[in-house]
Amino acid sequence: MLDQLLSEENIRVQEECQDWQAVVDRGAGILLAQGCIEAGYVSRIKDYLEEHGPYMVIAPGVVLLHARPEDGANGVCMSLMTLASPIAFGHAQNDPVDIVITFATPDDEQHVQALSQMTELLSDETSLRKLREAKEAEEVLNVVRPFVQKGGERR
């Protein structure tokens, strides 16, 4: 599933952003341009971060940007972006962020396998280092591919 969601078209590497709002705009903008989400979805991500704090920063240096299906998700989709300079989201333990995953799903079920595979990838320190060092989208895909097996287990 993860390999079906991530392609060169929705991966950006070494992007420059000024603040967390720009990170949301840039990461979600990839999916917005593809028609996978509505503009309101981007606004809701920001609203949730402002209302509930940086709970989307799920691991050191990693944010999983998302909103609810009814906020404007048109399909299951994902983008992955790395930042040239890490950005603070206000999370005491996991700031600053340099890996940005933006995710949308139209229901509560279709995304489970992809998130399982992504979780497995994000728990592998070598893979995280390679993501952070990547200079091209193809390098990111080379890191992702081993995690598309059953349950995300690496080959």
Residue where the block lists tokens 């990693």: 62
Report d(CA 25, CA 44) in Å as an integer.
Answer: 11
- Fill in the amino acid letter for 32: L
Starting at the edge strand found earlier in the chain, the sheet holding 77-87 runs: 11-15, 77-87, 97-104, 62-65, 57-59
111 belongs to the catalytic site: no
Q: Which residue of the set 52, 66, 91, 111 is catalytic?
A: 66
> Residue 101 forms beta bridges with which residues?
64, 80
Instruction: Write out the two tokens for 3.
Output: 């390999």
| Burial bucket for residue 84 (CB in 10 Å: 0-12, 13-18, 19+) | exposed
The sign of the torsion formed by the CA atoms of 119, 121, 126, 127 equals negative
Q: Where in the sequence numbering do the catalytic residues fall?
A: 66
